[in-house]
A and B are shown apart, each in its own frame.
Chain A
């Protein structure tokens, strides 16, 4: 997927103009946090579970190679083929070569952010394969030729009316109404069912890899993952190594956190475990299974000060709670991962130079960190990225110089107080009548959208206070 994160400001401003979409996002931003809060409190000690998971993650990353080896060994024993790949190209060409080895023509995909990250579909389509997204949201945006706007609900930006029109245009099924949600879903289901049966290869992601059993876990609400995994003769699980957890019970703890944080459900409709190809007595299942573990800079992240970002379980809660994400929507972020987690991941998985606007799309309000089930200190990581932005001289020079001059002035109280004392007295006088300025030199980025309130008048506090003390001699 083409990276357009440095156009964030323009894209965001454009998104703010789209009233309908903005309205729908506002509703999402109210509904999903309510659902998450209700689920977290119904659970009981949700924060205790978060802390427990954090300890499990710390332990796992400290013994990462041990658990990865354990996973690989167990998975191979069950008949899986395990591939470690370094980057996007390697993942894509691995998948392609598996497809080609089976002379596959049709690929059915479950929802996978990792393959969005690597741009797999594009490559497979170019190679002449028929690639079908089977998650309803992914299917909708694939039909519309769009990209996901949310990591859990990829088509959350689309209205029912848009989806209805899309299906009427794309499915040549003759006359029907599609007036209700269930009619729309029913149509997608019937179109998709046939495709599942015809697919040669199924591709899914994973929410966790269980080291002790060599099993991968997938959490869905639609069951499409199971159909992708079990109907086609070949299954490919595309995921990243940081999904690894030591035990099945750790994966269950993750699942409890994930589902409540993502949708506010206590449980998704499907939680599936894939262990390997069909065994002798099995009635169904794939004949051949591959697990591809992608690195794509994650080893670098692990070794950096941003390693906690690898604890992310992709629940999307930080998106739903972020007023900036809700304000501008996912597409403005210009890549696969939006919102607070995306503002950290996009620069790390690409380069800060290509995405340095994103860490600035944050008011440090802290709401994301408050709900992140993985307890990732997102605002701190974003601030650290802003620091890197400054060190790498990516920030506009006038901002950087202005802030540094200000900080220098702060360390010279006498000078600061005399300069501000003078300036505020003047501004106070000039703004006395109206109380605000509509325009002010050097303050265009403030006054573009708001008036600049005039200082209260009478000069700065420090000046007035000093004068009162001189007059009254009273201890302040």
Chain B
């Protein structure tokens, strides 16, 4: 986002996009947010980051504190409804806006939630189905990459082929597929803390499958899963690198991967 692009499809064709950074990118991995901005701008969008955003309210919602999640959802609707599109670098948060917000309300707020749902996009879907990226300007990736499909993206939004297509087009990598790639990694929001032993076992299965691909990099579209997997991989001493797909696509895997130290 640092340098404006030299004239690419200006004004009329520029889509007004609000970026929902997501709480995990905000707190734990800001480069995901900056990568998303860069990608969206490259795809010809005008990107705004509404200042009033915090989180979509999923932790409370999924844990059954639904009444506490409702006012959070209202605040998100208010903050994001002025824009043409809302783009989210997470299948799980996008799914929350797409599928679960409308179910939280009746009447006027239900309508507003539906309207927000209709213009909310998970990042890789947006970049393949709405605003296309131009040919890449960065070097192809050299490492072999495997991809973890997060459940909400996969099953609620049908995100599967889109990140693979983008990685192919933008980074020149063919994803080395995980066996059992339909199976959850065991993150599950508060599940991973409420049932840590089961969660760790599920992470281990996923990590073993990742190791079996021989890929050095595990990419994914949801930071929750990636933080959980990276944390477990570090605990086991596994040499795998974890990255959000936006970082790879933006050609910006400069810094350390998730959970890696830096000097």
Which chain A residues have a beta carbon within 8 Å of chain B's beta carbons? 9, 12-13, 16, 22, 26, 30, 323-324, 327-328, 360-367, 370, 383-390, 395, 399-400, 403-404, 406-411, 413, 416-417, 420, 424, 431-436, 438, 445-446, 448-462, 464-466, 468, 472, 474-476
Contacts and interface: CB of A to CB of B under 8 A. Distances in A.
B193 A407 contact: no
B195 A12 contact: yes
A450 B205 contact: no
A16 B180 contact: no
B26 interface: yes
A14 to B, nearest CB: 10
Contacts of A408: 68
B184 A365 contact: yes
Contacts of A406: 59-60
Which 3 pairs across A and B sit closest by C-beta, in order of nearness?
A: A363-B188, A386-B64, A450-B231
Task: Identify the interface centre among A365, A366, A386, A448: most chain B CB within 10 Å of its CB.
Answer: A365
B261 to A, nearest CB: 4
Contact of B256 (A327, A367, A435): A435
B234 A435 contact: yes
Nearest to A395: B64
Interface of B is mostly: helix
A454 B29 CA distance: 9
B175 interface: no
Nearest to B261: A435
B1 interface: yes
Contact of B261 (A324, A386, A388, A433): A433
Contact of B231 (A389, A403, A451, A457): A451
A461 B49 CA distance: 10
Contacts of B4: 474
B119 interface: no
B52 A413 contact: yes
A420 B27 contact: yes
11 contacts: A13-B197, A323-B183, A362-B191, A386-B64, A407-B60, A407-B68, A409-B54, A411-B71, A456-B28, A464-B34, A475-B48
A388 B64 contact: yes
A327 B201 contact: yes
Contacts of B199: 363, 449
B198 A476 contact: no
Nearest to A396: B194
Interface in B221-263: 227-228, 230-232, 234-235, 255-256, 258-263
A327 B202 contact: yes
A12 B202 CA distance: 13
A406 to B, nearest CB: 6
A446 B194 CA distance: 9
A451 B230 CA distance: 8
B75 A410 contact: yes
Nearest to A472: B2
A385 B130 CA distance: 38
A413 B57 CA distance: 13
